[in-house]
């Protein structure tokens, strides 16, 4: 068994099959799009270690599939690592925190001289990143939702219509006062 087939098997088991299972669960395209958006938005928050709790809370609040939301947030975490610095820089810009514009070398020097001050600066920078995430997450989520709904409507199977039967042994009667 070669490396390619091992990788292919891994991706089928870990990515493709869970996605297919989600599609087979009977979720509507709008619910699935909302689940994907919530997981993606939560997955890129520039605060490490809170995606599971936050994703679970949001999914429960909006009655989304919790497992799917958390799965999507985990799949989005490579984006989190790519976006953490841009979010921090945007947050510093939005909040006008010029004192946090430190280079990596300056941060190393700060940790050597006063690590408490360095942690304080990093804490402020991270909060600035979370603030930028808050500002950008709603518009980004709306755009992603608008893109996903038509795509999911096109690729998801149409659920079979259930036959509706009206019992004939129990006729519906309308009260006289409603008829006049």
Neighbours of 82 (CB within 10 A): 10
C-alpha distance from residue 108 to each of 30, 64, 102 (Å): 47, 43, 10
Give the N- to C-terminal CA distance of the chain in Å, as an integer: 79
pLDDT reported for residue 13:
79
* pLDDT at res. 40: 95
Output DSSP code: residue 157. Answer: P
pLDDT recorded at residue 58: 95
pTM of the model: 0.71
The C-alpha atoms of residue 115 and residue 109 are separated, in whole angstroms, by 9
Q: How far apart (Å, rounded) are the C-alpha atoms in residues 18 and 11? A: 10
What CA–CA distances, in Å, run from 12 to 5, 17, 35, 51?
Answer: 10, 6, 21, 24
- The residue among 36, 101, 121 whose CA lies nearest residue 74 is 36
pLDDT along the chain (180 residues), means of 10: 70 74 74 94 92 94 91 91 90 83 75 85 89 96 96 77 59 63
Q: In the numeric block, which tokens belong to residue 173?
A: 């009667």
Contact (Cβ atoms closer than 8 angstroms) between residue 54 and residue 161:
no
**HSE (side-chain half, CA atoms, 13 Å) at 78:** 1
């Amino acid at each position: 068994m070669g490396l390619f087939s091992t990788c292919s098997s891994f991706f089928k088991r870990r990515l493709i099959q869970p996605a297919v299972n989600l599609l087979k669960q009977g979720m509507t395209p709008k619910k699935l799009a909302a689940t994907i958006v919530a997981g993606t938005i939560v997955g890129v928050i520039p605060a490490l270690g809170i995606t599971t709790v936050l994703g679970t809370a949001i999914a429960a609040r909006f009655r989304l599939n919790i497992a799917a939301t958390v799965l999507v947030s985990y799949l989005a975490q490579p984006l989190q690592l790519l976006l953490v610095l841009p979010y921090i820089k945007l947050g510093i810009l939005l909040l006008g925190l010029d004192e946090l514009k430190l280079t990596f070398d300056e941060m190393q020097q700060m940790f050597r001289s006063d690590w408490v001050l360095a942690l304080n600066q990093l804490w402020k920078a991270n909060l600035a990143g979370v603030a930028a995430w808050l500002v950008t997450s709603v518009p980004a989520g709306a755009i992603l939702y608008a893109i996903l709904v038509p795509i999911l409507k096109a690729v998801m199977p149409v659920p079979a219509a259930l036959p509706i039967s009206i019992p004939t042994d129990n006729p519906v009667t309308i009260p006289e006062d409603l008829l006049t």
